[in-house]
Structure 1
């Protein structure tokens, strides 16, 4: 699951749902980013969205991917596919606020995220990539006037080429409900005071990383099982303090486990990730990968499971495509 708690809406902060800011001005596409509060980011540099607008069937959200990024940087000339999931995350949160009127202090939690992409469309160019996410909402559940859960379907275009189809299932709760669900773990300061010491990292090359700081797996006595490495000082995965291991960390762990389980450098051409419960900071989480065979030519299927206290936290099915 993934959640965040931020400042509530103020009366003069409500955006117009047609894509205007509070002062009535409409931002131009790819000249500015959306307000960081609307995507639950503390660092402006980590905001990838630039605009939003209605279309005939839903919404179109514009984004820009940088040519280089400290964490989601291109590898082997390809944009990092998890940049796609982070962009989906931001778009889903943005629309929850500007379209569905979810207050900014209501945590947003994932139940499932999936994509299926064309790896060749990830090719990085000499300019930042222009991305459009065409989004429709389905299975919307309300309690009174408040949105409780929804599924968003995505058609994603990168530099004019079809990149991916994807979906995101999420729920949102009021702060009071979230506190009841989380109990003492809803106290961010208390949760972080109990965090485990940071274990050693596996060799970065094993998971297609260059630096220990970007590795989220720690070795065990088994080559197919690792301890989740939770570095709360990481400036991207922990952009702001949270009370549990965030969803993007769990997806990154699944991706790194799949990479470690397949020889050579591979691209996760599809990911289907389900979130069962929160991963707490005060106990180890264990990541295990199992290859299940090949489909569609050279795609290598990998199943990844994350558990804590012997209970499932995250399960993922990943199709890895080797690339030179």
Structure 2
């Protein structure tokens, strides 16, 4: 049975600080079908520090909650050791019902319906999964997050990273210089510590600021740029592009499609280029000539309502989505 009285162990969701854990409980419903409880805070120093952060829950907070729920399920029920190193391959976010993401007078108790859609294995060893998460509030679907991820044990990870680091050393790996961040208001932020972009020479490019002191993006030591930082860079670059068009609309993200193609180093410049077409923006992240990630965001600029053009398709998706 799910409860919301306390969070689960930090290591199950790959967090160090208790304050960064949102999952409160898990249980199994049937084969490959699970649930997790989560409590979303009314305010968070990173996820609430946006133009709409005090009114509704940030899509990146919803994604982080789904990521934590998926990890907890994989560790508790699929027997994957907590020391394993995970890599997210693809990620999809869809808002289903906007009103259910509103910040109210009490924290939001959310139930995640977690379904293992596909398993990957090497021989008899499980090495990855595709997981669908339907996050429900008041018994109704609020958002859907699909994650494709794989993992290796610590020894294999060390060998992989040593080989990658040796190959990339020719590009002059070194501690990056202190970055000059873009003004917070240009990227929908109030706290300059949450700005993750620095200007580049070309108008459609920006340099991603890798601040390992950020307590949310770098809750614990990692040897690469986290996917959450790449998602935030894509959002901020889109907002910067809007600002340069002399129009800063009250835009909200209703969909995210991300492909993470390669591991980005902490000590090499990570560049973002942005392309906007209608309500969609595409951020392409590259490092030393390598494609790192492509992140497409879909924005809503019209007057907010309880539903949008995606709702019908997404409610169908809660019944059973297939690629």
TM-score by length of 2: 0.84
1:47 to 12, 18, 21: 21
Residues 63 and 145 in structure 2, CA contact (< 8 A), matched pair in contact too:
no
- Aligned-pair distance for 1:142? 2.2
* Aligned 1:171-210 pairs, distance under 5 A: 171-183=150-162, 194-210=174-190
> 1:15-54 CA distances to partner (integer Å, 9 max, x unpaired)?
xxxxxxxxxxx8x601010100100100001000000011
- Residues in 1 aligned to 2:125 and 2:147: alpha-carbon distance in whole angstroms: 19
2:266 to 245, 268, 281: 281
- Residues in 2 aligned to 1:223 and 1:86: alpha-carbon distance in whole angstroms: 31
Comparing 284-293 and 194-203, the one that deviates more = 194-203
Aligned match of 1:214: 194
Residues 81 and 267 in structure 1, CA contact (< 8 A), matched pair in contact too:
no
* Aligned 1:4-15 pairs, distance under 5 A: none
- Aligned-pair distance for 1:194? 4.0
Residues 54 and 103 in structure 2, CA contact (< 8 A), matched pair in contact too:
no
2:60 to 77, 82, 85: 82
- Residues in 2 aligned to 1:303 and 1:196: alpha-carbon distance in whole angstroms: 26
SS in 1 for 2:273: strand
SS in 2 for 1:114: strand
2:10 to 36, 41, 58: 36
Residues 83 and 154 in structure 2, CA contact (< 8 A), matched pair in contact too:
yes
* Aligned 1:114-193 pairs, distance under 5 A: 114-117=92-95, 118-183=97-162
Q: Which runs of 4+ in 1 moved over 3 A?
A: 184-187
1:246 aligns with 2:226: yes
> 1:132-171 CA distances to partner (integer Å, 9 max, x unpaired)?
1101112202234432011001211134332112210000
- Residues in 2 aligned to 1:168 and 1:240: alpha-carbon distance in whole angstroms: 21
1:69 aligns with 2:54: no
TM-score by length of 1: 0.84
* Unmatched 5+ stretches in structure 1: 1-25, 188-192, 294-299
- Residues in 2 aligned to 1:72 and 1:160: alpha-carbon distance in whole angstroms: 24
Q: Label 1:186 to 1:45 Cα distance change in 2 as closer, same or farther (>3 A).
A: farther
- Residues in 1 aligned to 2:72 and 2:162: alpha-carbon distance in whole angstroms: 27
Q: Label 1:119 to 1:310 Cα distance change in 2 as closer, same or farther (>3 A).
A: farther
SS in 2 for 1:110: strand
> 1:168-197 CA distances to partner (integer Å, 9 max, x unpaired)?
00000011221221116689xxxxx94312
- Residues in 2 aligned to 1:184 and 1:304: alpha-carbon distance in whole angstroms: 28
2:277 to 270, 292, 305: 292
- The alignment yields a C-alpha RMSD, in angstroms, of 2.1
- Residues in 2 aligned to 1:271 and 1:241: alpha-carbon distance in whole angstroms: 26
Aligned match of 1:309: 288
- Residues in 2 aligned to 1:144 and 1:184: alpha-carbon distance in whole angstroms: 24
* Unmatched 5+ stretches in structure 2: 167-172, 243-247, 305-323
- Aligned-pair distance for 1:201? 0.9
